[in-house]
Amino acid sequence: MEAEKDPYFPTSMTLMGGPIDTRRNPTGVNDLAEQKGIEWFRNNVITKVPFPQPGFMRDVYPGFLQLTGFVSMNLDRHVDAHKRLFSNLVKGDGDLVDKHVEFYDEYLAVMDLTAEFYLQTVDLVFVKHALPKGEMKHRGKPVDPSKIQRVALMTVEGENDDISGLGQTEATHGLCSSIPDARRVHYVQKGVGHYGVFNGSRFKSEIVPRISDFMRSAAHTKLSLAAAE
């Protein structure tokens, strides 16, 4: 939109825990993609939707494999959480039990991803690093973040993120080099991992207010610029 001078550009954009440049501070997830290559993922994690489910025989990256990967990365933490659940049930601490159930109801709510989408993401983002290398295209046109000038940019990362390492989302600022410094913000949330960037008490009390303030500030600036014109 910016490259084509579209007048209906968004006021701001907020990127959270995203693998914009996985060459920065690579995690185990990033290393796996680099080492295995796209064909390994195609041959090992893509399955057919079984009968009689909707989408029967469609190629997908199934939710149960996603969960296996998520849980195995922090297995000790999940085991401890369920031990505490049992202890709290014995003690009759309903509040902590409810918090546990609420968390895992959401954490375990996954869905199958279409094979086309998943494999393209792994290939372009984690194997080829197409965007930071300037090689990504959309509908045949080069994707050039440096063309973005009028959209305010905020990036958010988690201090303990073991999926999108520190700096991978912040890399967006280097790619969006034409955005004025006054219209960009980078925030690292202390004490949270990847999931905590999007959910939980710190997300609600510390991240959301900052995003809201940023969006309001960006909107005010946009109105001021429009009035000046």
Continuous segment of H or E residues that includes residue 35: helix 28-36
What confidence score (pLDDT) does residue 227 get? 56
> How confident is the model over 116-131, as a mean pLDDT?
96
Q: 189 or 229, which is more confident?
A: 189
Distance CA 75, CA 55 (A): 31
pLDDT at 159 > cutoff 90: yes
pTM of the model: 0.87
Strand segments (E) across the chain: 12-16, 47-48, 59-61, 113-114, 137-138, 141-142, 152-158, 184-189
pLDDT at 175: 98
- Is 80 exceeded by the pLDDT of residue 229? no
What is the arithmetic mean of pLDDT over 29-47? 94
Residue 226 has pLDDT above 80, yes or no: no
pLDDT band, residue 221 (cuts 50/70/90): confident
Query: E strands of 62-215, at which residues?
Result: 113-114, 137-138, 141-142, 152-158, 184-189
